[in-house]
Amino acid sequence: MGRDIGLSLVYRDMWQSSGKYMPRVDQLVRVAEPIVEMGCFRRVETNGGGFEQINLLYGENPNKSVREWTQAFNDAGIQTHMLERGLNALRMFPVPRDVRKLMYKLKKIQGTDIARSFDGLNDTRNLKLSIDYAKEGGMVSQCCLCITHSELHTAEYYINMAGELIDMGTQEICIKDMAGVGRPVTIGKIVEGVKSIKPDILVQYHGHSGPGFSVASSLEAARAGADIVDVAMEPLSYGTVLADLLTVHEVLRDAGFSVPDINMKAYMQARSLTQEFIDEFLGYYINPKNRLMNALLIGPGLPGGMMGSLMSDLENNLVSLNKWMAKKNKPEVTQDELLIALFEEVQHIWPILGYPPLVTPYSQYVKNAALVNVMQMMKGKERWSLLDDNTWDMVLGKSGRLPGKVGDELKNLAKEQGRDFFEGDPQDLQPDALEDFRKKMEEKGWDTGQDDEELFEYAMHPTQYEDYKSGKAKAGFEKDLEEKKSEESAPIASEAPSSVPSVVQPKTLDIDVNGEKFKVSISYNGDQAPASTAPVTQEKTPVAASTNGSSGSKEILAPLEGTIYMTKDSSEKALQVGDQVKVGDIVCYIEAMKVSNAVKSEVEGTVSEVLVKDTDAVLDDDVLFRVN
C-alpha cells in the first residue's frame, strides 16, 4: 500500500456551512459514539467558530457542551480540533490579549487538542499570539493559509506566508480553502512548497465544495504531500459544505494511498442520527439552495460557510427593494437578477477594498458592501453612499494589513469623512478586559465557573451571555422555532431534489458600443422578449422627500432594512425632538447583515418627530425622523 493519509470529519463546519445552528449537546453526545465506531477518522472538528455563540443562543452552556461532546473522542484517542479567528478569536471582531490567552488554556482542559487558527486578512502578525498562547495552553498550534484566487494570491504568496508562520513556531499548516475556489494544481503547488520549507511539518487540506473543485484539490493536495484531508458526510456533504467522506475515501484509495476502512454500519447510524437532527428542528434553518453546488461562485469567490446568511440577506433585501420599486412604479427585481448583480459587484469592489481574503468576517464585509451598493445604485444613488463601520475598520487597517492597496476612491472618501489609516499592530487597540468582566460578574452575583470558564464566556460574548443568563435567549429561540414550525409543515429534506433547478440566466445585459451604453433583453427557450436599445440611464432619487405637504416637514428615511439602535455607545446621545441636524450628521444606526451602519441625514433643520426607538425593526425607506 502507498503512503498513509488521515481523514478528519468537520462535524461542526458541516452544520454551520449549511445553516444557522448546529445540534444541541444531547444530540452531539449521541452521534459521537457512531462517529468513533466508523474507525476511519484521525481527527474530528468539534468546536470553535460560532459554536459557543450558538449554544448561548439556545440558552445552553457552551462549556458543558464542549466538555461532553469531546469526551468520546478523547477516550478513543481521536484528536479534536477547533477553529479560531486569530485576533477575533471566537467572534466577529477583535478580542483583548488576556481573553485570547485564557481561551487556549480552557479549551485544552475541556478536551480540545488542536487550535486551528486563521487570520481573515492573512496578516501573520495577528497569528503570533495564537501560536504562542496555543502552545502555552498545551494545544497543538495549526495555522491556516486562507485560500482565495486573484492576481495577488499566487502559490508563491502562500508558500512565503507558510514560511513566516513556521518561523513563528506553528506546528502544523492548514490549507483553508474556505470557498473551494483554489484551483487544484495550485493547491498541489502550495502543499509542495510548504513541505519544501519543512518536510516533516503536518499539512491538512480543508476545501469546501462550492463551485466543484474540492475533490480534485483533495487528490492534488494528497499527491503533493498533505497528511490529512478534511471531509464531510451525508446528509450534509457537498453543496456549501465539504466533499463527502465516501467519495474522497475512494478517490484516495484508487490513487494508491492507504486509508482506513469505514465501518459502514456505524456510518449509517451516524448518517441516520444527523438526519434525525435535521428533521427535529435544524432543517428549519437550512436554506435548500445551500445543499446545491454552484459554479457561479467561481467568479465572486464567496465561501460556502456564509452562503446561508447570504441567501437570507438576499431574500430580506429583495422584499424591501421591490416595495421601493412598487412605490416608484418600477418593475420588480427577481432574486436571480439581484444575485447576479451582487456577484458582479463583489468582483468589482474586491480589488478596491484591497483584496481581503473572502473568509469570515471579511467575506461578510465584502458581501455586505456589495449588496448595499447594488441596492443603493438600483435606487439611483452612488456606490459607497452607505458603508458600515466594520468594513471601514478593515479598510483603514484596524483589523490588520490588507493584501492589496485600497482604491483611490475609498482613500478619498476616507479623507472627506475625516477617517485616518492605522499602521500599527491591531492588537494594541484592544486593552485587557478580564478583570473588568470579573468585577461585573461579582456585582451580578455570577460564578466565574470552573477554571474561570464562565468568565471567559462573558468576556468573549458579552451580549449573548447576558441573554443566556436572563433566559431571554432560550425564550427567543423557542419562539422563533415555533413560528417556523407553524409556517412550514416540515423542515428541509436532505435527499437530493427531484429535479435540478435551472441555471441562473440573466434577462438583460448592459453592453457598450463605441462608448454608448445599451440595455439588451435576452430570451431563452423560444421566449421572444423584445430587445431594447434604449441607452442606460441612472435616475437620481433623493433620500428624503417631503411627504407632509401641509407642514412642509422633511423626512429622514431608513437606507436599508434592519434593527434600529439610537446610539452606538454610551458616549453618544440619542437624537430627540428639538435637536438640530445638519447634512451629514449621524442620526442613528441600523444593524443589518451582522454589521452596524451609520444613518446620516441628507436634510437639515429641527427634529420635529422621532418615529423609532432602540431595537425597532425597520424596512428600507421607512420614515425614521421628521425635520422642520
d(CA 144, CA 303): 15
Say if residue 168's pLDDT is above 60.
yes
Supply φ then ψ for residue 266, to 5 degrees.
-70, -40
d(CA 218, CA 248): 7
Type of residue numbered 421: F
- Which residues touch 527 (CB under 8 Å, ≥6 apart)? none
Mean pLDDT score, 388-394: 92
User: Could you report the per-residue pLDDT of 277-292, keeping only the tens digit for each?
Assistant: 999 999 999 888 788 8
Nearest to 566 by CA among 607, 515, 517: 607
Phi-psi region of 360 (alpha: psi -120 to 50; beta: other; left: phi over 0): beta
d(CA 150, CA 241): 22
Distances (CA, A) of 535 to 57, 341, 540: 51, 19, 16
Between 536 and 162, name the one with better pLDDT: 162
In this structure, what C-alpha cell is assigned to residue 459? 468576556
d(CA 65, CA 21): 14
pLDDT, mean over the chain: 88
pLDDT band at 538 (very low <50, low <70, confident <90, very high): very low
d(CA 399, CA 408): 20
pTM above 0.95, yes or no: no
Say if residue 524's pLDDT is above 90.
no
How many alpha carbons lie under 13 Å from residue 378 in its C-beta half-sphere? 29
Say if residue 493's pLDDT is above 80.
no
Q: To which residue does cell 481527527 refer?
A: 43
**153-230 CATH, one of 3.30.428.10, 3.40.50.10910, 3.30.420.40, 1.20.1090.10:** 3.40.50.10910
Mean pLDDT score, 192-207: 98
In this predicted structure, which of 460-464, 512-516, 606-610 has the lowest mean pLDDT? 512-516
Mean pLDDT score, 600-625: 90
Residue 198 CB neighbours (<10 A) = 15
Phi-psi region of 37 (alpha: psi -120 to 50; beta: other; left: phi over 0): alpha
Say if residue 227's pLDDT is above 70.
yes
Query: Contact at 8 Å (CB) between 367 and 528?
Result: no
In this structure, what C-alpha cell is assigned to residue 374? 447594488
Bridge-based pairing state of the strands 562-565 and 586-592: antiparallel
Q: To which residue does cell 438583460 refer?
A: 508
Q: What are 623's strand-pairing partners?
A: 557
Distances (CA, A) of 220 to 185, 207, 282: 6, 12, 34
User: Could you report the per-residue pLDDT of 424-438, keeping only the tens digit for each?
Assistant: 999 999 999 999 999
pLDDT of residue 40: 98
Per-position DSSP letters for 574-604, written without gaps between them? ---TT-EE-TT-EEEEEEETTEEEEEE-SS-
pLDDT band at 543 (very low <50, low <70, confident <90, very high): very low
Mean pLDDT score, 14-42: 96
pLDDT band at 584 (very low <50, low <70, confident <90, very high): confident
Say if residue 549's pLDDT is above 90.
no
Cα-atom radius of gyration of the chain, to the nearest Å?
25
Q: Where in the chain is the domain with CATH 3.40.50.10910?
A: 153-230
Say if residue 20's pLDDT is above 50.
yes
User: Could you report the per-residue pLDDT of 67-125, keeping only the tens digit for each?
Assistant: 999 999 999 999 999 999 999 999 988 999 999 999 999 999 999 999 999 999 999 99
- Which residues touch 178 (CB under 8 Å, ≥6 apart)? 146, 147, 206, 208, 303, 304, 305, 358, 359, 360, 363
Can you tell me whether residue 563 is helix, strand or coil? strand
Supply φ then ψ for residue 503, to 5 degrees.
-65, 140
Type of residue numbered 390: N
Mean pLDDT score, 18-29: 94
In this predicted structure, which of 195-199, 247-251, 388-392, 412-416 has the lowest mean pLDDT? 388-392
Say if residue 610's pLDDT is above 80.
yes
User: Could you report the per-residue pLDDT of 231-252, keeping only the tens digit for each?
Assistant: 999 999 999 899 999 999 999 9
Query: Contact at 8 Å (CB) between 81 and 45?
Result: yes
Say if residue 528's pLDDT is above 70.
no
pLDDT of residue 364: 86
Query: Contact at 8 Å (CB) between 45 and 9?
Result: yes
pLDDT of residue 361: 85
d(CA 583, CA 605): 9
Percent residues over pLDDT 70 in the chain:
88
- What CATH number should be reported for the domain whose range is 554-627? 2.40.50.100
Q: Where in the chain is the domain with CATH 2.40.50.100?
A: 554-627
Supply φ then ψ for residue 177, to 5 degrees.
-95, 70
Query: Contact at 8 Å (CB) between 156 and 115?
Result: no
pLDDT of residue 335: 86
Type of residue numbered 413: L
d(CA 306, CA 13): 11
- Which residues touch 472 (CB under 8 Å, ≥6 apart)? none
Neighbour-count burial of 34, counting CB atoms closer than 10 A to its CB (0-12 exposed, 13-18 middle, 19+ buried): buried
Secondary structure (H, E, C), 461-518 = CHHHHHHHHHCHHHHHHHHHHHHHHHHCCCCCCCCCCCCCCCCCCCCEEEEEECCEEE
Nearest to 529 by CA among 503, 505, 511: 505
Between 24 and 497, name the one with better pLDDT: 24
User: 301-315, 395-409, 534-548 — which one is most confidently predicted on average?
Assistant: 395-409
Phi-psi region of 584 (alpha: psi -120 to 50; beta: other; left: phi over 0): left
In this structure, what C-alpha cell is assigned to residue 158? 502562500
Type of residue numbered 156: E
d(CA 306, CA 304): 6
In this predicted structure, which of 139-143, 198-202, 567-571 has the lowest mean pLDDT? 567-571
Nearest to 461 by CA among 88, 26, 117, 65: 88
Max Cα-Cα span within the chain: 86
